[in-house]
Amino acid sequence: SQQGEEDPQALSIQEGENATMNCSYKTSINNLQWYRQNSGRGLVHLILIRSNEREKHSGRLRVTLDTSKKSSSLLITASRAADTASYFCATTIIQGAQKLVFGQGTRLTINP
Amino acid sequence: EPEVTQTPSHQVTQMGQEVILRCVPISNHLYFYWYRQILGQKVEFLVSFYNNEISEKSEIFDDQFSVERPDGSNFTLKIRSTKLEDSAMYFCATEDWTDEKLFFGSGTQLSVL
């Protein structure tokens, strides 16, 4: 089944450092999205990158997409303690329903 | 910013009982979804709903599950006879027709005893 897989499963860094999370998927996609989830809360949309895009920026976030490798990365620059959360990639497939398929997530901890 | 509202935030029920989880979508959104997340695991798609009918459902969404939009505003998920393995956080999500991003509610934590 087409599914995002994040890597690493957990990441712990010092405040101010950059955090990079990766996502791989299996089938052709329309777009790939990144969401953030604070503990016990709903998911919040961060950024969407379409299959014909290679890189996208939003504030301290940078997302890349390599459709040949079926992978994406999310970079958070100059991390803050408030960035501590789980981050999920999600994909919509070509000729599929509108549903998003989520990966396992990366648990990011920013140490002050 | 508009929000998706879910009630209740927590629901404890006995195995075999029926539960109804409620969601108030963002007013101009047309696509509705239910997802669930078992503690510490990934977010799993259950069902999508558009134009008052189910668009797609997953293997999890068996005959014990149903969805409806009873009054044009609320969007509900019903589990007819709950099982222990139904214990999870259930998220409602909505989407408008111009934007492919989902807006999630804060979830209902369902505990089946």
pLDDT tens-digit readout, A10-32: 999 999 999 999 999 988 888 89
The one-letter code for the residue type at A25 is Y
**What residue spans of chain A are helical by DSSP H?**
none
Whether residues A97 and B103 touch (CB distance < 8 A) is answered with no
Give B21's contacts (C-beta < 8 A, 6+ positions apart).
Answer: B6, B7, B8, B11, B34, B76, B77, B78, B79, B90, B92, B108, B110
Residue B72: name the closest of B24, B36, B105, B14 by CA: B24
B44, B56, B100: residue with CB nearest A97:
B56
Measured in angstroms, the CA of B70 and the nearest CA of chain A are apart by 22
- Confidence class for position A94, pLDDT limits 50, 70, 90: low
Chain A residues inside the 8 Å CB shell of B56? 97-99
Q: Which residue has the higher pLDDT, B71 or A46?
A: A46
- Confidence class for position A1, pLDDT limits 50, 70, 90: very low
Interface list for chain B against chain A, based on CB atoms closer than 8 Å: 4, 31, 33, 35, 41-45, 48, 50, 55-56, 89, 91, 93, 95, 100-107, 109
Residue A29: name the closest of A104, A75, A95 by CA: A95
* Region A89-104 average pLDDT: 77
- Distances in Å between the Cα of A53 and the Cα atoms of A48, A66, B43, B80, B97 are 10, 9, 25, 44, 21
Tokens of A39: 């503990």
Whether residues B101 and A48 touch (CB distance < 8 A) is answered with yes
Q: What percent of chain B has pLDDT over 90?
A: 73
Chain A residues inside the 8 Å CB shell of B100? 30-31, 33, 48, 92, 98
- Confidence class for position A3, pLDDT limits 50, 70, 90: low
